[in-house]
Chain A
Amino acid sequence: MISCRLIQITRNRQGQPIRTERRIAGDALRIGRGAECAIHLPDHSVKLRHAVIRDTDAGTYYIEGDGTPVCVNGSFHEAAELVAGTRISIGPYELVAETAAGGAELVVSIELVRPHPQEENLLARAPVSLAATGLSKRQPAFWLGLLIALAFLLLPLVQTNSPSVRQALAALPLTPLQTWNPGPLLPGHQSFAAQCDKCHRQAFRAVPDAACTDCHRATSPHATPAAAADLRCAGCHRDHKGKDGMVRSDVPLCVSCHGDIKRRSVDSALADVHGFDADHPEFSVTFKSRPGDAGVRRVALSDKTALVEESGLKFSHKAHSGKVRRPSEPQKFQVMACADCHQPDSGGLRFKPVTMKEHCFDCHREEFDFNPPVDEHRLAHGSERAVVDMLEHYYLKKALREDTGRGGRVPVQQALVDAAARAGNTAAALTGDIGCGLCHETEPAGSGAGIPWKIRPLAITERWLPQARFAHDKHRAAKCTQCHELNRSRDSADVAIPDLQKCRECHGGEQGGNHKVASPCAACHAFHDAPRAQLTGK
Chain B
Amino acid sequence: MPHRRTLLEYRDRRYLKAASLLIAAAVLAYALHRPPVAPYGGTWLGYALGTLAALLALWQTWLGVRRRRDGSGSVQGWVSAHVYLGAALVVLATLHSGFQLGWNVHSLAYVLMLALLATGGYGVFAYLRIPRLMTDNLGEDSFEDLLLKIADLDERARTHALHLPDAVSAVVMKAIQQTAVGGGIARLLSGRHPDCPTHEAVRRLHDQDDTLDAAQADHHRELYSILLRKESLLIRARQDLAYRARLGFWLYLHAPLAVATLAALAAHVFAALYYL
Contact = CB atoms under 8 A, between A and B. Distances in A.
Q: Do A and B come from one complex?
A: yes
Contact of A141 (B163, B215, B260): B260
Nearest to A142: B259
B190 interface: no
B36 A248 contact: yes
A241 B40 contact: yes
A142 B170 CA distance: 48
Contacts of A253: 36
Given A141-B256, A238-B37, A148 B267 contact: yes
A42 B162 contact: yes
A368 interface: no
A203 B178 CA distance: 65
A204 B274 contact: yes
Contact of B267 (A133, A152, A203): A152
A126 B180 contact: yes
A178 B165 contact: no
A183 to B, nearest CB: 6
Given A179-B108, A182-B102, A144 B259 contact: yes
Given A152-B267, A248-B37, A141 B105 contact: no
B7 interface: no
Contacts of A136: 252
Nearest to B187: A126
B110 to A, nearest CB: 12
A156 B252 CA distance: 29
Given A119-B177, A130-B185, A152 B36 contact: no
Interface in B243-271: 244-245, 248-249, 251-252, 255-260, 262-264, 266-267, 270-271
A139 B177 CA distance: 34
B166 A129 contact: no
A123 B163 contact: no
A174 to B, nearest CB: 7
B57 to A, nearest CB: 14
Nearest to B213: A36
A122 B185 contact: no
B102 A126 contact: no
A323 B178 CA distance: 113
B263 A200 contact: no
Given A123-B181, A149-B263, A206-B276, A250 B166 contact: no
A48 B180 contact: no
B166 A48 contact: yes
Interface string A115-150: 000010011011111111101111011101110110
Q: Please report whether the interface of chain A is mostly helix, strand, loop or mixed according to DSSP.
A: loop
A141 B162 CA distance: 53
B34 A250 contact: yes
B37 to A, nearest CB: 5
B184 A133 contact: yes
B260 A241 contact: no
B188 A129 contact: yes
Contact of B163 (A35, A183, A196): A35
Nearest to B107: A182
A238 B42 contact: yes
B38 interface: yes
A493 interface: no
Most buried by A among B37, B158, B187, B244: B37
Q: Please report whether the interface of chain B is mostly helix, strand, loop or mixed according to DSSP.
A: helix
A246 B37 CA distance: 8
Contact of A125 (B178, B215, B241): B178
Interface in A46-102: 47-48
A181 B263 contact: no
A127 B162 CA distance: 30
A380 B276 CA distance: 68
B40 to A, nearest CB: 7
B89 interface: no
B7 to A, nearest CB: 21
A34 interface: yes
A273 to B, nearest CB: 17
A245 interface: yes
A145 B267 CA distance: 11
Contact of A203 (B151, B257, B260, B274): B274
Given A48-B164, A123-B182, A174-B103, 18 more contacts: A35-B215, A44-B162, A48-B169, A122-B150, A122-B180, A126-B184, A128-B188, A144-B259, A148-B263, A152-B271, A178-B104, A179-B108, A183-B102, A196-B275, A203-B275, A206-B276, A244-B38, A250-B36
26 contacts: A33-B162, A42-B162, A48-B163, A48-B164, A48-B165, A48-B169, A119-B176, A119-B177, A123-B181, A127-B182, A129-B188, A130-B185, A130-B252, A138-B255, A141-B259, A145-B256, A145-B260, A153-B263, A180-B104, A182-B106, A183-B102, A200-B275, A203-B274, A207-B276, A238-B42, A241-B38
8 shortest interchain CB distances as A-B pairs: A128-B182, A126-B180, A141-B259, A180-B271, A148-B263, A125-B180, A141-B256, A152-B267
Interface of B: 34, 36-38, 40-42, 100, 102-106, 108, 147, 150-151, 158, 161-166, 169-170, 173, 176-185, 187-188, 215, 241, 244-245, 248-249, 251-252, 255-260, 262-264, 266-267, 270-276
